[in-house]
Chains A and B, each alone.
Chain A
Amino acid sequence: MNSREDILSSIRANLSKGFELPMQHIETISYPDKTARFMEISTAVGGEAMLVKEGEDINALLRSTYPHARKIVSNIPEITIANMNPDMVENPQMLDGADLSVVRGQLGVAENGCVWIPQDSKERAEIFICEHLAILLDKNKIVNNMHDAYHDLTFNDYGFGTFISGPSKTADIEQALVIGAHGATSVTVFLI
């Protein structure tokens, strides 16, 4: 017998009664203005969410938001200010030193400021390695809570995705909150 069978038979030997999966349709919190709530929470978790005006030039907006960014990583064709394409690098180490990464979010979650970002380039490192992360999100794609998010989200072929809520942080030293641990030190969601 191999370990897999050992473990499965040990489980079967120890189980007696089967319990039903509960019905999971519960009254969940919903927000009258999901966008406003999303923006509020984004700030509360140390990030930012800003509305992009109709017809506004996203590249100009990014330039003015990150005036000191030199190394800008993105494979989104519309982001012309990008000067490094994660699809073209030989290895993820080359992305180190990125000041700004621009990625696409698929949906946002009003209850916690999370944005679902399915991996969309060869190197998922583009999401985490940069100093500043800019997430482009359709403002009509904000759902109330995680139940809705998990119902709607999809992956790309890369088979990786992440919810991001605010910048990386830690309170491991005396519970003093510090923004900027190993991932991005700032996260801004650009609501288009």
Chain B
Amino acid sequence: MSTKHADSAKQFLYYKGSAQWHNETLWFVRHKRDLVSRSLPEWETLRELSSQIKRHTISHLDTYLEQFAANAEANGAIVHWAVDAKEHNDIVFNILKKHKVRKVVKSKSMLTEECRLNPYLMARGIEVVESDLGERILQLMDQAPSHIVLPAIHLKRQQVGKLFEEKLHTEKDNCDPTYLTHAARKHLRQEFLTADAAMTGANFGVAATGDVVVCTNEGNADMGTSMAKLHIVSMGIEKVIPSYQSLGVFHRLLARSATGQPSTTYTSHYRKPQAGGEFHIVLVDNGRSKIAGNPDHWQTLKCLRCGACMNTCPVYRRSGGYSYTYFIPGPIGINLGMLQAPSRYFDNVSACSLCFSCENVCPAKIDLGHQIYKWRQDLNGLHKADPMKKYMSYGMKYVFKRPVVYHTGLKLAPAINKLPRFLIYNKLNAWGLGRELPQFAKESFSEMWKNNNVKSVKNE
């Protein structure tokens, strides 16, 4: 009885020290979020507004996308529409090919991860350089991100030090984060200066003005798009928002929820191409339009990709991003993976104790935990339900429908207390792997009641 997530989590937890560091460090990010959220008396009102604005926008998504595209085009942007990941990749490649681009510098975009853009471009002879420090480290290691905002959270400074020694020729055994970051600055500065094109994601697309808004702390999106005259934006269609009025609400929630900062260092608004340059926006569907009509799961489209749900999730903190089979981990990842391909990603559905902490930190009030509960109900229909859980559930129902059987069970159960340990505690007993079994009471409550041993306390 075990899912891929449970198996990977076991491995993750085997290394107690790093598992504890991962857990405590991410909890600290959650804690920072708590502190800043309490500095704004209107915090919960903002969350409610954010949720309602998103709901309104999604329920008029076609209108807002048309408005966004019209305004962006009026500003001089070239807007493309991609039905799926392949079309997105083709569009991007064709733009780069047309401009004879040999090297493109990228800032972070989970959408381009979803579309697997990097390997697609590299296979066609275009060099792709990730410019976010965490993403660049992972690119040099040929690893995937393990968190959507803190991609290299699973790595230790020693690993980065060794990597930079090899790839950037830094000082031997120097793993001071400041030293390594400044080395990366120098290295990536050269990449920015020599790139032929820049790609970014989009945190928001403002329908009323045609703005693409990109939020970073490092300034990598801005460096890239300042140097190269060709800028391509990859934007999921759910990123469109009505106006600057709504943007105020989302901006105030985003960085506070993600890292506990009142704002990211840079909040850049792109409207027009640079002189002599081109500004392309690729709007991507890849299943989102269908999700909009899914009554149980449309709320995933409200997601701001802040990562707060991961930081609070007690399971994610103790299992790490690589325990999940979908490229986005944690509560939002479980749901997004199931929406993409349920028969492929169902293993992640076990990674949840239904504590609902994620719902309370989500700046868009997505019902993440309740959606996971709903996916669990769907697993049997997909023939992915764990047989042990299925038989236990059917078995329990059988017993609980029949009070006579139930009461007999209660009478006989205490005998289990006396069984020899080797019978109870073995590989078949997952409970017993780290816990003692509870003791069955000699007399259950219903037996006591029947034998008149439950005495009331009469008021004198």
User: Is there any pair of Cβ atoms, one from A and one from B, under 8 angstroms apart in the complex?
Assistant: yes
Q: How many Å lie between the Cα of A175 and that of B178 in the bound state?
A: 11
Select from chain B the residue with minimum beta-carbon distance to A41: B262
Question: Of A18, A113, A176, A182, which contacts B220 at CB under 8 A?
Answer: A182
Q: How many Å lie between the Cα of A162 and that of B266 in the bound state?
A: 7
Question: Of B184, B193, B220, B262, which contacts A96 at CB under 8 A?
Answer: B193
With contacts A24-B245, A29-B42, A160-B269 taken as known, whether A169 is within 8 angstroms of B289 at the C-beta atoms is: no
Chain B nearest CB, measured from A139 CB (Å): 20
Q: Please tell me if the beta carbons of B185 and A182 are within 8 angstroms of each other in the complex.
A: yes
Q: Please tell me if the beta carbons of B262 and A181 are within 8 angstroms of each other in the complex.
A: no
Select from chain B the residue with minimum beta-carbon distance to A3: B81
Q: Which residues of chain A come closer than 8 Å to B80, judged between CB atoms?
A: 3
Annotate A106-122 by CB proximity to B: 1 below 8 A, 0 otherwise. 00010111100000001
Q: Please tell me if the beta carbons of B248 and A173 are within 8 angstroms of each other in the complex.
A: no
Q: Which residues of chain A come closer than 8 Å to B269, judged between CB atoms?
A: 155, 160-162
Q: Which residues of chain B come closer than 8 Å to A170, judged between CB atoms?
A: 133-134, 181, 217-218
With contacts A22-B56, A159-B75, A173-B133 taken as known, whether A7 is within 8 angstroms of B81 at the C-beta atoms is: yes
B1-36 with Cβ < 8 A to chain A: 25, 28-29
Does B328 have its Cβ within 8 Å of any Cβ on chain A?
no
Does A70 have its Cβ within 8 Å of any Cβ on chain B?
no
A164-179 with Cβ < 8 A to chain B: 164-176, 178
Q: How many Å lie between the Cα of A114 and that of B274 in the bound state?
A: 24
Does A151 have its Cβ within 8 Å of any Cβ on chain B?
yes
Q: Please tell me if the beta carbons of B49 and A15 are within 8 angstroms of each other in the complex.
A: no
Q: Which residues of chain A come closer than 8 Å to B222, judged between CB atoms?
A: 124, 127-128, 162, 182-183
Q: Please tell me if the beta carbons of B261 and A182 are within 8 angstroms of each other in the complex.
A: no
With contacts A160-B272, A163-B263, A183-B223 taken as known, whether A7 is within 8 angstroms of B83 at the C-beta atoms is: yes
Question: Of B75, B83, B249, B261, which contacts A3 at CB under 8 A?
Answer: B83
Q: Please tell me if the beta carbons of B49 and A26 are within 8 angstroms of each other in the complex.
A: yes
Select from chain B the residue with minimum beta-carbon distance to A17: B59
Q: Which residues of chain A come closer than 8 Å to B52, judged between CB atoms?
A: 19, 21-22
Chain B nearest CB, measured from A158 CB (Å): 7
Q: Please tell me if the beta carbons of A15 and B61 are within 8 angstroms of each other in the complex.
A: yes
7 closest Cβ pairs, A-B complex: A183-B219, A14-B293, A159-B272, A181-B218, A172-B134, A112-B262, A125-B226
The chain B residues found within 8 Å of chain A, CB to CB, are 25, 28-29, 40-42, 45-46, 49, 52-53, 55-56, 59-62, 65-66, 69, 75-76, 80-83, 87, 131-134, 137, 150-153, 155-157, 160, 177-178, 180-182, 184-185, 188-189, 192-193, 217-220, 222-223, 225-227, 237, 242, 244-249, 251-252, 259, 261-275, 283, 285, 289-290, 292-294
The chain A residues found within 8 Å of chain B, CB to CB, are 2-4, 6-8, 10-22, 24, 26-29, 41, 45, 92-93, 96, 109, 111-114, 122-125, 127-129, 145-147, 149-151, 155, 158-176, 178, 180-184
Q: Can you name 23 A-B residue pairings with CB atoms under 8 Å?
A: A3-B82, A3-B87, A8-B65, A22-B52, A24-B245, A45-B263, A114-B267, A145-B252, A146-B248, A146-B252, A150-B244, A158-B272, A159-B75, A160-B274, A162-B268, A164-B265, A171-B150, A171-B259, A172-B152, A173-B160, A173-B181, A174-B157, A175-B150
